[in-house]
Amino acid sequence: MQTLSGLTASPGICSGKAYIFRAVDLSYDPARMESPGEEAKRLKDAFDSAWRELDGIKNTLSGSMGEEYAHIFRAQMTILEDDDFRQEITDKLNEAACRAETAVEEVYKMYAGLFSQMEDSAYNAQRLADLNDVCQRVLRNLLDREEITLSSLPPESIVIAKELFPSDTAVMDRKNIRGFVTERGGLTSHVAILAKSLSLPAAVGTPGAMEAVKKKDAVFLDLRDYEKALVYVNPGVEKQKELTALEKEYLERQMELLKMKDLESVTLDGRKITLSANIGSLEDLAAAGEFGAKSVGLFRTEFLFLKGDLPREEEQYLVYAEAAKKLAGGMLIVRTLDIGGDKEVKALNLPKEENPFLGLRGIRLCLKYEELFLAQLRALLRAAVHGDLRIMFPMVSSVLEFRRARELVVRAAAELREKGIPHKSDPPLGVMVETPAAVFLAEDLTREASFVSMGTNDLTQYVLSVDRGNEAISSYYRTFSPAVLRAVGLTAAAAAKNGKWAGVCGELAGNPMAVPLLVGLGVEELSVTASALPQTIALIRSLNFNRCREAAQKVLAMSTEDDVKACLQQCAWRDPP
């Protein structure tokens, strides 16, 4: 037996047979070429067939996984349609009198070189990944080789790959897949997001997987731990028995948990915790409904803006209004546009920044581009007529930013009033606590805002000064650092002083080890990935609030993350028997 370890990108436990996914062989003899005219024709044909393949995938996706994934392929089709890109390959073909394959590869290398000089952001990484995907597709068509896809898998497959691109997973045979192991990729990689949305276990950042695992090997994924992923390859009989029993128990528990999806999330001693879902689109909202979501604590609206053209007020209004109606009176917290940092909106053509995470991000960007912000605010105020819509501002670091944002809400309402457009002029306004400044100012902010929600993904990044997207320093990104937990405690206490509620909408909110602690620290609302809703309800219903409070005080006095974790594992959060 071999045991590999990686990072848990999507929790769970499963077993199956290894399906080794290797890229198709794209080797060729560069000296064997046709006439220049013939090479140009081959190139055109390959571009056309690659475009048709992508169009096919995109159309299948629009109906199944939703727009969110389809837009990835639209982006790749745009690369194929880009005249400059095509011209560059044609120029290379003419200059070097080479094979079309060589011209494609050379142009790709040139772009990869350019990207390596750009800042190392997740967005640039995604653009390069898309370009790589497109070039591989053109090459394969040029070479007339069969596509190796995940579209037809043997039953109970666990896909082992170096890396998985969107085009690999888009056509994936979902009914036969049990889980994923990839050598590369971080917690925010494409496969991580996909696996979560399909509720399948996935281990990413698992070095040596391609070397260690062979076709049809028995593979067991034990990803119950939210940090460390364990991958067992051909375990012995005893270990297999143990893992199979654990898997059975885990699945039975998930089925049991699903039955709780409509129960109230209240502790044994009566403390009510509002449990909401995080969504990024209407498709996510529909999926969240399956897990019993009654409210949304974080609607990330960036997705609407990352697709290409900026969405108009009307387009935004329709989306927000639909979400509000679907929730039928349930709370819908919409976060205003949170771009900058690692999220770039091409249509805005913003200048490059040396330090984008400390740059023009979130509310700062919206206050600079007032028209863009006002259009979103008008759409939100109009949609607020259809339900309990609340507006939340990201990356706030001063009270003045909140006041300025509030003034713009008032202006947006006045504009609508002048035009006689139905709207709600004063929905509750909240602040995301993601910066240390917002923690220290939480009492001041909650004097004026109706609520706060802690974005612990960013809060951890800024409190610990560690780039959340940099895999190389991921060991410094300490989820349970006492510094971060004290920031949470301070914020919750400050909000309570002003009679306002404090929530958490970062990943920490769905981590079972953190939930009792957050409850004990006075957090009143948790917004989590939809599939984590049932287990979080069950967990809250098993807690004793007073015990959580006592334990939280103990945790706040600890100096190291190790001590915190050890304490959280031993704590008795429930009533004594």
Residues annotated catalytic, as ranges:
190, 505
* CB closer to ligand PEP out of 212 and 454: 454
Between residue 362 and residue 421, which ones bind ligand PEP under the rule CB under 6 A?
none
376: helix, coil or strand?
Answer: helix
**CB of 335 vs Mg ion, minimal distance in Å:** 9
Contact of residue 344 among Mg ion, ligand PEP, none (CB under 5-8 Å per partner type)? none
Nearer to Mg ion, 271 or 361 (CB): 361
- Residue 525 touches ligand PEP, criterion: CB under 6 A: no
DSSP character for 272?
A: B
Considering the rule CB under 6 A, would residue 434 count as an interface residue with ligand PEP? Answer: yes
Structure token pair of residue 556: 């706040």
| Binding span for ligand PEP by CB under 6 A among 139-147, 404-412, 449-457, 512-520 | 449-457
Sign of CA dihedral 297, 303, 304, 310: positive
Q: Looking at beta carbons only, is 70 or 396 nearer to Mg ion?
A: 396
Build a one-symbol-per-residue string for 297-336: x at contacts with ligand PEP by CB under 6 A, - elsewhere: -x-x------------------------------------
Contacting positions for Mg ion (CB under 5 A): 455, 458
Give, in order, the Cα–Cα distances in Å from 89 to each of 99, 103, 105: 11, 6, 9
| Count of other CB atoms within 10 angstroms of residue 66 | 17
Residue 130 contact partner, candidates Mg ion, ligand PEP, none, CB within 5 to 8 A by sort of partner:
none
Q: How far is the CB of 455 from Mg ion (least distance, A)?
A: 4
Check if the beta carbon of residue 387 is closer than 8 Å to that of residue 324. Answer: yes
99 binds, among ligand PEP, Mg ion, none (CB under 5 to 8 A by kind): none
For strands 429-433 and 388-393, give the pairing. Answer: parallel
User: What DSSP assignment string belongs to 176-225?
Assistant: GEEEEEESS--TTSHHHHHHHHHT--EEES-TTHHHH--TT-EEEEEE-S
For residues 187 and 59, give the distance between their C-alpha atoms in angstroms, rounded to a whole number: 28
User: What backbone torsions phi and psi does residue 545 show, to the nearest 5 degrees?
Assistant: -60, -40
Stretch of 19-27, 163-171, 231-239, 454-462 lying at the interface with ligand PEP (CB under 6 A): 454-462
Q: How far is the CB of 466 from ligand PEP (least distance, A)?
A: 13
d(CA 410, CA 425): 7
Candidates 16, 430, 455, 469: give the one binding ligand PEP (CB under 6 A): 455
Q: Shortest distance, CB of residue 80 to ligand PEP, whole angstroms?
A: 30
**CA-angle at 277, arms to 435 and 471, nearest 5°:** 50
Q: Is 457 in the site for ligand PEP (CB under 6 A)?
A: yes
- CA 122 to centroid of chain Cα atoms: 12
Question: How large is the angle between the packed helices 237-258 and 533-541, nearest 10 degrees?
Answer: 80
Strand blocks (E) in 343-458? 388-393, 429-433, 451-454
The answer to whether 456 contacts ligand PEP (rule: CB under 6 A) is yes
Give yes or no for residue 506 binding ligand PEP (CB under 6 A): yes
Task: Report in angstroms how near the CB of residue 517 gets to ligand PEP at its nearest.
Answer: 16
Helix (H, G, I), strand (E, B) or coil at 299: strand
Contacted entry of Mg ion, ligand PEP, none for residue 65, CB cut-off 5 to 8 Å set by kind: none
Partner whose binding site includes residue 280, from Mg ion, ligand PEP, none (CB under 5 to 8 Å by kind): none
For the chain, give me the number of helices (H) and strands (E)? 23, 15
Angle made by CA atoms 172, 173, 175, in degrees to the nearest 5: 135
Q: How far is the CB of 507 from ligand PEP (least distance, A)?
A: 7
Instruction: Report the residue number, 51 or 393, with the smaller CB distance to ligand PEP.
Output: 393
Nearest distance, CB of residue 457 and ligand PEP, angstroms? 3
Among ligand PEP, Mg ion, none, what does residue 482 contact (CB within 5–8 Å per kind)? none
Is residue 505 near ligand PEP by the rule CB under 6 A? Answer: yes
- The interface partner of residue 284, options being Mg ion, ligand PEP, none and the CB cut-off 5 to 8 Å by kind, is none
* Complete DSSP assignment for 507-552: GGGG-TTTHHHHHHTT--EEEE-GGGHHHHHHHHHT--HHHHHHHH
Q: In 3-state terms, what secondary structure has residue 163?
A: coil
DSSP state at residue 235: -
Distance of closest approach, residue 311 Cβ to ligand PEP, in angstroms:
18
Question: Residue 382 binds which entry of ligand PEP, Mg ion, none, with Cβ cut-offs from 5 to 8 Å by kind?
Answer: none
Q: Does 285 bind ligand PEP (CB under 6 A)?
A: no
Cβ-based nearer residue to ligand PEP, 206 or 479? 479
Q: Nearer to Mg ion by C-beta: 35 or 465?
A: 465
Question: 179 vs 506, which CB is nearer to ligand PEP?
Answer: 506
The nearer residue to ligand PEP, 233 or 273, going by C-beta atoms, is: 273
Residues in contact with ligand PEP, counted by CB under 6 A, come to a total of 10
Residue with smaller CB distance to ligand PEP, 115 or 357: 357
Q: Does residue number 344 form part of the binding site for ligand PEP (CB under 6 A)?
A: no
The least CB distance from residue 187 to ligand PEP, in Å, is: 11
Parallel, antiparallel, or unpaired: how do β-strands 228-233 and 218-223 relate?
A: antiparallel
Q: Which does 456 bind (CB under 5 to 8 A by kind): Mg ion, ligand PEP, none?
A: ligand PEP
The least CB distance from residue 506 to ligand PEP, in Å, is 3
Determine which residue in the list 130, 183, 222, 458 makes contact with ligand PEP, applying CB under 6 A. 458
Question: In whole angstroms, what is the distance from residue 178 CA to residue 161 CA?
Answer: 14
End-to-end CA distance of the chain, in Å?
A: 41
When the beta carbons of 179 and 455 are compared against Mg ion, the nearer one is: 455
Long-range contacts of 342-350 (CB under 8 A, 24+ apart): 342/121, 342/122, 342/123, 342/469, 343/122, 343/123, 343/302, 343/306, 344/121, 344/123, 345/302, 345/305, 345/306, 345/310, 346/308, 347/305, 347/308, 347/309, 347/310, 348/310, 348/372
Interacting residue ranges for ligand PEP, rule: CB under 6 A: 298, 300, 338, 434, 455-458, 505-506
